[in-house]
Amino acid sequence: MQVEVRGITKCFGAVRANDDISFTVPSATIEGILGENGAGKSTLMKILSGFYRPDSGDILLDGKKVEIDDPADAIRQGIGMLHQDPLDFPPLKVIDDFLLGKRGGLLPRRRAVIREFNELAARFDFSIDPESYVDTLTVGERQQLEILRLLWLGARVLILDEPTTGISLPQKEKLFATLKKLAAEGMTVLFVSHKLEDVESLCNRATVLRQGRLVGTMEPPFDTKALVGMMFGKEVPQEPKAQPRMGGTVLHARQVDLEGIRIQIKGVDLKVRAGEVIGLAGMEGSGQTLFLSACAGLAQPVQGSFCLDEEEKDMTGRTYHEFRKRGVAYLPAARLEQALIPGLTLTEHFILAEGMKGFFIDRKKSEELARRRISLFNIKGRPDSPVESLSGGNQQRALLALMRDPLKLILVEHPTRGLDIESTIYIWGKLKERCAHGTAIVFISSDLDEILKYSDRVLVFFAGKVTPPLDARTLSVERLGRLIGGKDWDRLETEAAHA
Amino acid sequence: MRDTRANRLLFQIGAVLFALLVTVLVLFLAGAQPFAAYKYIVLGALGSWDVVTNVLVSWVPLLLATSGLLVTFTVGLWNIGIEGQITLGAVFTTWAMRLLQDSGWNPTLILVLALLAGILGGTLWALLAGVLRTFGGVNEIFGGLGLNFVATALNIWLIFGPWKRPGVASMSGTLPFDRALWMPIAAGSSRLTPATLVMAVVGIIAVYAMIEGTYFGLRLKAVGKNPKAAYILGIPTWQNMMASFAICGVFAGLAGAVQVTAVYHRLIPSISSGYGYLGLMVALLVGYRASLAAPVALFFAALNVGSIQLPIILKLDSSLAGVLQGTLVLFVMLGNGIRARLIKKGT
Amino acid sequence: MRTISKLFLLAIIALVAGSAAFAQSAPPATGPNLTIGLVMVGPYNDHGWSQANYEGVQYVLAKLPGTKLVYIDKANSADRPGTTVSQLGESLVAQGAKLVIFSSDDMTDEAIKFAQDHPNIFVILTSGSQQWKEGKNYLPLPNMINIMGKMEYMKMVAGVAAAMTTKTGKIGFLGPLINDETRRLAASAYLGARYAWVNYLKKDPSKLTFKVTWIGFWFNIPGVTSDPTQVADDFFNSGFDVVISGIDTTEAVAEAAKYTAQGKQVWAIPYDYARAIDEGKGVSLGVPYFNWGPAYLNAAKAAMNGTWKNHFEWNDPDWKNINNPDTSAVGFNKGTLSKEASAAVDKFIGELGKGLNLWVGPLNYQDGSVFLKKGEKATDQQIWYLPQLLQGMEGQSVSK
> Whose CA is closest to B272, among B167, B110, B121, B138?
B121
Q: What percent of chain B has pLDDT over 70?
A: 97
DSSP per residue, C22-38: PP-SPPPP-TT-EEEEE
Q: What is the pLDDT of residue C7?
A: 45
DSSP per residue, C34-81: EEEEEE-SS-TTSSSHHHHHHHHHHHHHHHSTTEEEEEE---STTTST
Cα gap A245→C246, rounded to integer Å = 93
First-to-last C-alpha distance (Å) of chain C:
53
pLDDT at A114 over 90: no
**Do the chains contact at A352 and B230, CB–CB below 8 Å?**
yes
Residue numbers of A between 172 and 231 with CB closer than 8 Å to B: none
- Domains belonging to chain C, first-starting first, are 20-151+293-315 (3.40.50.2300), 152-289+333-394 (3.40.50.2300)
pLDDT at C75 over 50: yes
Instruction: Name the CA radius of gyration of chain C, rounded.
Output: 22
What does the pLDDT look like over A409-446, one tens digit per residue? 999 998 887 777 778 888 888 898 888 888 999 999 87
CATH of residue A485's domain is 3.40.50.300
Looking at residue C123, its amino acid is V
- pLDDT bracket for residue B196 (50, 70, 90): very high
C touches A (3+ CB pairs < 8 Å)? no
Lowest model confidence (mean pLDDT) among A14-28, A68-82, A161-175, B63-77:
A161-175
Gap from A359 CA to chain B (nearest CA, Å): 6
Domain membership flag for residue A391: no
Cα gap A455→C146, rounded to integer Å = 94
- pLDDT bracket for residue C23 (50, 70, 90): very low
Q: Mean of the pLDDT values across residues B106-130? A: 96
Looking at A232, A265, A294, the residue that finishes a domain is A232
What does the pLDDT look like over C222-279, one tens digit per residue? 777 889 999 999 999 999 999 999 998 889 999 999 999 998 999 999 999 988 888 8
**Measured between CB atoms, which of B47, B189, B269 is closest to C78?**
B269
Q: What is the pLDDT of residue C186?
A: 96
For A68-85, letters b (16+ CB in 10 Å) and e give beebeebbebbbbbbbbe
Q: What is the pLDDT of residue C12?
A: 37
What is each CA distance from A185 to A61, A175, A392, B89, in whole angstroms? 18, 15, 35, 75
Domain membership flag for residue A489: yes
The two beta strands, A465-466 and C67-72, are: unpaired
For C299-322, letters b (16+ CB in 10 Å) and e give bbbbbbeeebebebbbbebbeeeb
Q: What is the pLDDT of residue A337?
A: 82
B26: Cβ contacts below 8 Å, ≥ 6 apart: B320, B323
- Residue in chain A closest to B4 (alpha carbons) equals A13
Q: What is residue C136's three-state secondary structure?
A: coil
Highest-confidence range of A9-13, A149-153, B227-231, by mean pLDDT?
B227-231
**Do the chains contact at B171 and C106, CB–CB below 8 Å?**
yes
Cα gap A150→A72, rounded to integer Å = 11
CB B148 within 8 A of CB B81: yes
Cα gap B81→B72, rounded to integer Å = 11
Domain membership flag for residue A356: no
pLDDT at C9 over 50: no
Q: What percent of chain B has pLDDT over 90?
A: 54
User: Domains in chain A: how many in total?
Assistant: 2
Crossing angle of helices B320-346 and B290-306, in 10° steps, is 150
What is each CA distance from C3 to B185, B309, C304, C331, in whole angstroms? 17, 21, 35, 52
Crossing angle of helices B194-213 and B290-306, in 10° steps, is 150
CB C243 within 8 A of CB C270: no
What does the pLDDT look like over A362-404, one tens digit per residue? 888 899 999 998 888 888 888 888 888 888 788 888 988 888 8
pLDDT at C384 over 60: yes
Lowest model confidence (mean pLDDT) among A101-115, A151-165, B155-169:
A101-115
pLDDT at A102 over 70: no
Q: Mean of the pLDDT values across residues C73-96? A: 89
C89: Cβ contacts below 8 Å, ≥ 6 apart: C37, C39, C100, C102, C110, C111, C114, C118
Q: Is C58 exposed, middle or buried (0-12, 13-18, 19+ CB in 10 A)?
A: middle
Count CB atoms within 10 A of the CB of residue C140.
12
> Whose CA is closest to B79, among B284, B330, B227?
B284
β-sheet with A30-34: strand ranges across? A79-82, A157-161, A188-193, A30-34, A205-210, A213-218
A192 & A271 share domain: no
pLDDT at B277 over 90: yes
Q: Mean of the pLDDT values across residues B224-234? A: 91
Chain B residues touching residue A350 (CB < 8 angstroms): none
Number of separate helices (H) and strands (E) present in chain A: 17, 21
Q: What share of chain A is helix, strand, coil (3-state, %, to 5)?
A: 35, 25, 40
Q: What is the pLDDT of residue A244?
A: 56
A324 CB within 8 Å of a chain B CB: yes
Arithmetic mean of pLDDT over chain C: 89
- pLDDT bracket for residue A147 (50, 70, 90): confident
Domain membership flag for residue A368: no
Cα gap A54→B158, rounded to integer Å = 67
Ordered by start, the domain boundaries in chain B are 59-293
Cα gap A306→A295, rounded to integer Å = 7
- pLDDT bracket for residue C19 (50, 70, 90): very low
> Whose CA is closest to C176, among C211, C226, C103, C127?
C226
**Do the chains contact at B230 and A332, CB–CB below 8 Å?**
no
Higher pLDDT, C46 or B126: B126
Give me the residues paired with residue C38 across strands.
C71, C101
Chain B residues touching residue A342 (CB < 8 angstroms): 225-226
CB A52 within 8 A of CB A46: yes
- pLDDT bracket for residue C325 (50, 70, 90): very high
First-to-last C-alpha distance (Å) of chain B:
8
Q: What is the pLDDT of residue A105?
A: 55
A489 CB within 8 Å of a chain B CB: no
Q: Mean of the pLDDT values across residues B254-282? A: 94
Crossing angle of helices B275-285 and B320-346, in 10° steps, is 30
pLDDT at A236 over 70: no
Higher pLDDT, C193 or C29: C193
**Do the chains contact at C18 and B179, CB–CB below 8 Å?**
yes
pLDDT at A496 over 60: no
What does the pLDDT look like over B238-256, one tens digit per residue? 999 999 999 999 999 999 9
The interface pTM score, or ipTM, of the predicted complex is 0.84
Please give the angle made by the CA atoms of B131, B132 and B136, to the nearest 5 degrees. Answer: 105
How many angstroms separate the most distant Cα atoms in chain C?
79
A432 & A311 share domain: yes
Q: What is the pLDDT of residue C14?
A: 37
Domain membership flag for residue A421: yes
- Residue in chain B closest to C71 (alpha carbons) equals B312
Q: What is the pLDDT of residue A15?
A: 66
> Whose CA is closest to A298, among B234, C166, C96?
B234
Count CB atoms within 10 A of the CB of residue C222.
7
Lowest model confidence (mean pLDDT) among A60-64, A191-195, B143-147, C303-307:
A191-195
Domain membership flag for residue A93: yes
**Do the chains contact at B197 and C11, CB–CB below 8 Å?**
yes
pLDDT at A159 over 60: yes
Lowest model confidence (mean pLDDT) among A158-167, C33-42, C202-211:
A158-167
CB C26 within 8 A of CB C142: yes
B222 CB within 8 Å of a chain A CB: yes
**Do the chains contact at B58 and C91, CB–CB below 8 Å?**
no
A219 & A301 share domain: no
Q: What is the pLDDT of residue C349?
A: 95
Q: What is the pLDDT of residue A224?
A: 76
Q: Mean of the pLDDT values across residues C99-107? A: 92
Domain membership flag for residue A340: no
Chain B residues touching residue C184 (CB < 8 angstroms): none
Cα gap C320→C350, rounded to integer Å = 9
This prediction's pTM: 0.78
Cα gap A276→A438, rounded to integer Å = 8
Which domain, by its residues, includes A134? 3-232
A112 & A257 share domain: no
C161: Cβ contacts below 8 Å, ≥ 6 apart: C269, C285, C286, C334, C337, C341, C344, C345
Neighbors of chain C with 3 or more C-beta pairs under 8 Å? B
pLDDT at B130 over 90: yes
Please give the angle made by the CA atoms of A102, A108 and A109, to the nearest 5 degrees. Answer: 125
Higher pLDDT, A45 or C20: A45
**Measured between CB atoms, which of B218, B229, B347 is closest to A339?**
B229
Q: What is the pLDDT of residue A86?
A: 56
Q: What percent of chain A has pLDDT over 90?
A: 15
Cα gap A61→A190, rounded to integer Å = 14
Highest-confidence range of A175-189, A472-486, B84-98, by mean pLDDT?
B84-98
Cα gap A354→B30, rounded to integer Å = 60
Gap from C84 CA to chain B (nearest CA, Å): 7
Highest-confidence range of A230-244, A303-317, C136-150, by mean pLDDT?
C136-150
**Measured between CB atoms, which of B209, B222, B347 is closest to A12?**
B347
Domain membership flag for residue A357: no
